[in-house]
Amino acid sequence: MTADVMAQSTDADSPTAQPARHSTAQAPAARQTPGASEPAGGSPLPGATRPTSGRPLPSAGQPASSGPDTTADPAVTGDSAAGTGQVTGVGPAAGAILAAGSGQATGMASAAGSPAGSAADEYTGAAKPLAAGEIRAMRERIDEIDQAIIDLWQERSRLSQAVGKTRMASGGTRLVLAREREIVDRFRAALGPDGTQVALLLLRSGRGPL
Ligand SMILES: C=C(O[C@@H]1C=C(C(=O)O)C=C[C@H]1O)C(=O)O
């Protein structure tokens, strides 16, 4: 775990009463999760509650939702990352996805802002048919990729829970922090600060009820 990731740590992830046993034998001594309590479905690791980048998304139009833009909120923390932050709209022309703290995915772009009389494609947000076709093709692949991510995510989660059960049945610890740090570091090295968040969500997903 690098120092800057550790510096991002806060303790805002809600702790639960659920006790957890951590194996810290191999973990770096610089920062140990103190003792017995484990954040709820969350992570004892640094970086767990770091807000997302907060970078505003470029948009040529207005959000489809009037809900608050949580891109600057600590959205990827605790349950909020999984339960909210849904895609609520697509800006016309630019096709920018606008995240909001609540609401359903509408996936529809407003025709407002399109050139008058043009065949604006409301589904893709494109202002010209050719662009709409390209976008549809790319979206097909995006959908495939998303499904692969979901499948792999669920497979990983099942494996992680199986490891935990096996270890506990052998009298071992529920979690191994040194291993979790290794995983967080790998994701962060590959993806930057967002990778940290992804890794923490992955780890949380794998905990489940043991
Ligand atoms: C799956 C394991 O158990 C736990 C879950 C981990 C994970 O989801 O990757 C990593 C470390 C452990 O806290 C493991 O030790 O490999």
Domain annotation covers residue 193: yes
More confident residue, 161 or 120: 161
Contacts of 161 (CB under 8 A, 6+ apart): 206, 207, 208, 210
Dig out the tokens for 55 from the structure.
């970078």
Which residue of 166, 175, 177 sits with most ligand 1 atoms within 8 Å of its CB, as the best mutation to test the pocket?
A: 175
Predicted confidence (pLDDT) per residue in 43-92, tens digit: 445 444 443 343 343 333 333 333 333 333 333 333 333 333 344 333 33
CATH code of the domain covering residue 173: 1.20.59.10
Three-class SS of residue 17?
strand
181 CA to middle of ligand 1, Å? 10
Question: Looking at the predicted structure, is the pLDDT value of residue 160 above 80?
Answer: yes
**Cβ atoms of 35 and 172 closer than 8 Å:** no
ipTM for the predicted complex comes to 0.99
Question: Average pLDDT of 94-103?
Answer: 39
Domain annotation covers residue 156: yes
Provide the pLDDT for residue 36.
32
Domain annotation covers residue 121: no
Question: Looking at the predicted structure, is the pLDDT value of residue 149 above 60?
Answer: yes
Question: How does residue 210 score in pLDDT terms, banded at 50, 70 and 90?
Answer: low
If you take atom 4 of ligand 1, which residue's CA is the nearest one?
A: 175
What is the count of structural domains for the chain? Answer: 1
Question: Which atom of ligand 1 is closest in space to residue 179's alpha carbon?
Answer: 11
Domain annotation covers residue 177: yes
Spatial separation of the C-alpha atoms in residues 60 and 193, rounded to whole Å: 27
Give the structural domain span for 191.
3-50+146-207
Spatial separation of the C-alpha atoms in residues 186 and 192, rounded to whole Å: 10
Question: How does residue 130 score in pLDDT terms, banded at 50, 70 and 90?
Answer: confident
CB-defined site of ligand 1, < 6 Å: 160, 163-164, 175-176, 179-180, 183, 203, 206
Domain annotation covers residue 101: no
What distance, in Å, lies between the first and last C-alpha atoms of the chain?
Answer: 26
Mean pLDDT across the chain, nearest whole number? 63
Which residue of 152, 159, 163, 205 sits with most ligand 1 atoms within 8 Å of its CB, as the best mutation to test the pocket?
A: 163
Question: Looking at the predicted structure, is the pLDDT value of residue 98 above 80?
Answer: no
Spatial separation of the C-alpha atoms in residues 66 and 161, rounded to whole Å: 39
Provide the pLDDT for residue 208.
74
Burial of 5: CB neighbours in 10 Å, binned 0-12, 13-18, 19+? buried
Domain annotation covers residue 194: yes
Which residue of 165, 176, 205 sits with most ligand 1 atoms within 8 Å of its CB, as the best mutation to test the pocket?
A: 176
Residue 137, sorted as left (phi over 0), alpha (psi -120 to 50) or beta, turns out to be alpha
- The Cβ of residue 180 has, within 10 Å, a number of other Cβ atoms equal to 22
Domain annotation covers residue 170: yes
Domain annotation covers residue 107: no
Question: Looking at the predicted structure, is the pLDDT value of residue 176 above 80?
Answer: yes
